A and B are shown apart, each in its own frame.
Chain A
């Protein structure tokens, strides 16, 4: 295979990996503090992307022309709005079900996801159609032989890695992070130590949902198009990535995100090479089949959650 095409695949794979990792980190954070799966996470991402789009439209009306200013405001509004939404979801939908069977929370958030998705489709103007997402990053490309490196991809990649690194720093280096880790380890004991449990949970949900909004904006900037159902697949992929990496572990989520992107890329490159005539659309089939096979091999993910069952 041509080196340039291969480079293109790798660049694309890395980009997908960062987006997946951002989503997966959210799943793993929520699971850490509350032991629940917040399945509407992917749709929070969609709502974040559409919030960004609406903000962009408002900015254009207001006459702000500088793409950098637009980008900053759009990103800020989307992240802040989704952080708020995430905290609200935690407070009014997830926390009240704390003592219910875990499956009820899974179902509730699945349904909430469906409700968010449908609301975007029905209530955003022409929400059922794919929407063009503005190009806010410079479109210059650096030609390296047959491989052209898009500047916006590089910037997005750096921003994504930066966001994950920032969250990692917050979790490992701050008092807040200490509180989050304490709640994740043992909520009961954390409370005895004077940690405000509900506050920590709400902040964690806010951080995770903010990351999802960032991922939504990145996804929009990269593909220049969003639609109401992007969150469904991204949510499932992010969940798969978090589970494959090992729920509750932030490194696992990052690893899982890149692993899933690698699987998709391998599926897109190798399948047509091995079986000529097979459309590359099979790459998702391949990736999900690989996830199912992987779960049979490592049932609790790469970096396994340590469980001891109290009988």
Chain B
């Protein structure tokens, strides 16, 4: 989406808000659809409809409008989300899905800082997510849960720091190997470690924030609705953090490190420092998300943190568009909700992801919502 392509009437907020409303209505029908035929029909509508709208130029109008009115867009999205939450407040499944999408979004925002900004690959996202999960399993009974969330993030960052030296000394494929090895090491370790429950895993206590027990439903609401609200707050925090980071001089340095390490070093940018920062922040976010997510699901087991799960996180980032924050949220929703809704595909879930990512890499490597170029004067 280039500047010169912006039509004259893009000055209003209407196309942007209409776009948000359309997505909200679509999500409503999608979450509501019971029969496989309805779900398939909606999927087909999106697969055919979105490219058609793109051809008609509507998508670029929505994009331009949202780019010009960021505040209005954000408020619109928050309101739309709250309306969807209010509509589904008593349905366990829809609420569980929404909360999972939000927690995964937080973790993938962390990976975006590493991979999308600083260019540090991390194929162990699920492992750092798992560090957070096991933290809440072990400490959940003793400490206030807000502290557990922070400790989960800190422990993930701390464990990640073990990898910093090898990652800094290596590049490209060699660096990828280190995170792959770590992901497998972590999973094997918790699987054989009896103190952490072995293959059966551990129970996790439900979240309790300042005396508010999230597992007790409010009135007729599903108790998952509580988690959705907490997840929404956390995701908003993470989103603001990552967005501020991106737009600051820190983000500028991170981008420079990703694009050309040699040139950075020549210009006096400390490559090691920015890589460490990005890697640590990313793992922290993944750890926090993992800690909160496990409190919601109530248990942790090695099978939830496999290499395949790390690959799912990487595919979320790639599907959304590397470095694009809204892309992450959209892709997390697609990747997590679609297979749950299409029961027929449940069994073929991993195969479906894999083929989807391959097609995207071949046909649209920039992802669904490509990251925009920096624009400080919009």
Contact with A along B187-210 (1 / 0, CB 8 A): 011011000000000000000000
Q: Give the contacting residue for A107; candidates B171, B177, B192, B318; CB below 8 A.
A: B318
- Whether B173 and A102, one on each chain, are in contact in the complex, defined by CB atoms closer than 8 angstroms, is yes
Query: In this complex, what residue of B is CB-closest to A284?
Result: B188
Interface pair B170/A288, CB less than 8 Å apart: no
- Taking CB as reference atom, which chain A residue is nearest B177? A243
Chain A nearest CB, measured from B318 CB (Å) = 6
The residue in chain A whose Cβ has the minimal distance to the Cβ of B310 is A110
Q: Are A285 and B185 in contact, with the CB atoms below 8 A?
A: yes
Contact B169 A115 (CB under 8 A): no
B358 pairs with A93, CB closer than 8 A: yes
A115 contact set on B, CB distance < 8 A: 351, 354-355, 358
Is A1 among interface residues, defined by CB-CB distance under 8 A? no
Consensus secondary structure, chain A interface: helix
**Is the Cβ of B173 less than 8 Å from the Cβ of A118?**
no
Contacts of B355 in A (CB 8 A): 111, 115
B314 part of interface (Cβ distance < 8 Å): yes
Q: How far is the CA of A37 from the CA of B177 in the complex (A)?
A: 10
Q: Tell me the complex Cα distance, A141–B318, Å.
A: 53
Which of A285, A289, A291, A292 is the one whose CB lies under 8 Å from B192? A285
- Complex partner residue of A279 from B176, B192, B354, CB under 8 angstroms: B192
Are B361 and A107 in contact, CB atoms less than 8 angstroms apart? yes
Task: Say yes or no for A68: interface residue by CB 8 A criterion.
Answer: no
Chain A residue contacts of B181, Cβ below 8 A: 236, 240, 288, 291-292
Q: State the Cβ distance, B292 to closest chain A Cβ, in Å.
A: 27
Select from chain A the residue with minimum beta-carbon distance to B192: A281
CA–CA, A102 and B175, complex, Å: 13
Chain A 85-119 interface residues, beta-carbon cutoff 8 Å to B? 93, 96-97, 100, 102-104, 106-108, 110-112, 114-115, 117-119
Give a binary string over A268-311; 1 marks a CB under 8 Å from any B CB, 0 the rest. 00000000000101101100110111011001110000000101
Q: Which residue of B lies closest to A36 (CB)?
A: B173
- A233 interface hit (Cβ, 8 Å): yes
Determine whether the beta carbon of A299 is less than 8 Å from that of B354.
no
Can you name the residue of chain A whose Cβ is closest to the Cβ of B318?
A107
Query: Are B314 and A107 neighbours in the complex by a CB distance under 8 Å?
Result: yes
Q: Which residues of chain B (168-184) have a CB below 8 Å from chain A? A: 169-174, 176-178, 180-182, 184
Flag if B189 contacts A240 (CB, 8 Å). no
Whole-angstrom CA separation of A236 from B177 in the bound complex: 8
Is B212 on the interface with A (CB-CB < 8 A)? no
* Contact of A299 with B353 at beta-carbon distance under 8 Å, contacts A97-B361, A285-B188 already known: no
B interface residues with partner A (beta carbon < 8 Å): 121, 123, 162-163, 165-166, 169-174, 176-178, 180-182, 184-185, 188-189, 191-192, 262-263, 307-308, 311, 314-315, 318, 347-348, 350-351, 353-355, 357-358, 361-362, 365
Query: Can you give 28 contacting A-B residue pairs, CB < 8 Å?
Result: A103-B176, A104-B365, A106-B173, A107-B357, A108-B361, A110-B123, A111-B315, A111-B355, A114-B351, A115-B355, A118-B348, A122-B348, A122-B351, A240-B177, A240-B181, A247-B173, A279-B192, A284-B184, A285-B185, A285-B192, A288-B182, A292-B178, A295-B170, A296-B169, A299-B169, A299-B170, A309-B262, A311-B263
Known A37-B173, A293-B166; further 12 A-B contacts with Cβ < 8 A = A107-B315, A111-B315, A114-B350, A115-B358, A118-B351, A118-B354, A122-B347, A233-B184, A292-B178, A292-B182, A292-B185, A299-B171
